Structure 1
Amino acid sequence: MTMTDNPPAVADGFVVRRSIDIAAGIDRVWAAVTQPDLIAQWFGDRCRLDSLEVGAGGAFGWDDAGDFPFRIEEFDPPRAIAYRWSNAVAGALDPLQVVDAHSTLFRFTLEERPGGTRLTVVETGFESHERPDAVVEDHRQGWTSELDELVALVEGAA
């Protein structure tokens, strides 16, 4: 089975955006962006999530970068979920709290398409960073590689 080929993420000013097509149903894609055990298979190395509702918290973790707390800002199953996450230098933040001044918001939207699901991510809020252009580029590259991993995971399980 070959993975669906999708264009890379793009940056437009302080916004990073990527839309991808996935050859899997919307429920499978929704699970991949909301269930901690599945998130940890494509986004970072681990994920903790207290519950699935607006205001719920958790953390995304990378072995080489540490843990980054997040809070769910929007929850509309199976169409949209938005995470606000602290993503400044690891260790410089309270590991259990999202620091809004050092955070960005990424929002996933899902729509059923012939043959599968279109997933779009839009990340905003980079203006508050000390080096916003570098952070935007880092996240643009990150969404390109991480969402390719999501496609491989979801399509591989289809």
Structure 2
Amino acid sequence: MTDNQASVIDEAAFTVRRSIHIAAPLEKVWSAVTEPEHISRWFGRVALDGSGAGAKGTITFPDYGAVPLMVEAVDAPRMVSYRWGNDAVAPLPDAVDDHSTVFTFTLEEVAGGTQLTVAETGFDRTSDPAANMADHAEGWVSELDKLVALLEGSGGGA
């Protein structure tokens, strides 16, 4: 399995970023980060009311519960952005609230696979920016390592 670096926190920009290499074709990684049935295999159980920008739904984690989720933007197969309302202050039924953050997956075809970068922004609007950035930085390591294991390992891929 590919060995990737940890997330980086930019406290001044209230951003968490992580870039990883996945030894899988771009199309396979794209499916894994955009199709609910594939996202559900490595991240959280995703349900959306459609596809493309504006689609709304939830992402559910076993130990956390349902989090509102909305597709912000799509530029297939290079970029997809999601907004999620996961701040402890007020998880509203609508993902677009005052405490939501946005995470963007950017994909680039590189030698031997795909470079995937996630950048999550908007922590300045959360109840505890420093703690939330630290939690999400750790979370992106755990979740994206699961994605790498799925796509590179014997987990069947996306």
Fold shared per TM-score above 0.5: yes
Q: Is the 8 A contact 1:93 1:99 kept in 2?
A: no
CA shift, 1:139, in A, is: 0.2
Question: Normalising to structure 2: TM-score of the pair?
Answer: 0.92
Letter paired with 2:124: E
Aligned residues: 153
1:48 alignment counterpart = 47
2:9 alignment counterpart = 11
CA shift, 1:42, in A, is: 1.1
Residue 150 (structure 1) aligned to one of 138, 147, 150: 147
Give the Cα separation in 1 of the matches to 2:143 and 2:47.
18
- Which segments of 5 or more consecutive residues in structure 2 lack a partner in the other structure? none
- Over aligned residue pairs, what C-alpha RMSD do you find? 1.3
Question: Normalising to structure 1: TM-score of the pair?
Answer: 0.92
3-state SS of the aligned residue for 1:27? helix
Q: Is the 8 A contact 1:9 1:141 kept in 2?
A: yes
Letter paired with 1:141: E
1:114 alignment counterpart = 111
- Which segments of 5 or more consecutive residues in structure 1 lack a partner in the other structure? none
Give the Cα separation in 1 of the matches to 2:102 and 2:92.
18
* Greater per-residue helix proportion: 1
Task: Give a deviation string over 1:82-105, Cα, whole Å, max 9, x none.
Answer: 001101228x4333x114201000
1:78 alignment counterpart = 77
Give the Cα separation in 2 of the matches to 1:52 and 1:20.
25
2:32 alignment counterpart = 32
Which of structure 1's runs of 4+ aligned residues deviate more than 2 A? Answer: 92-95
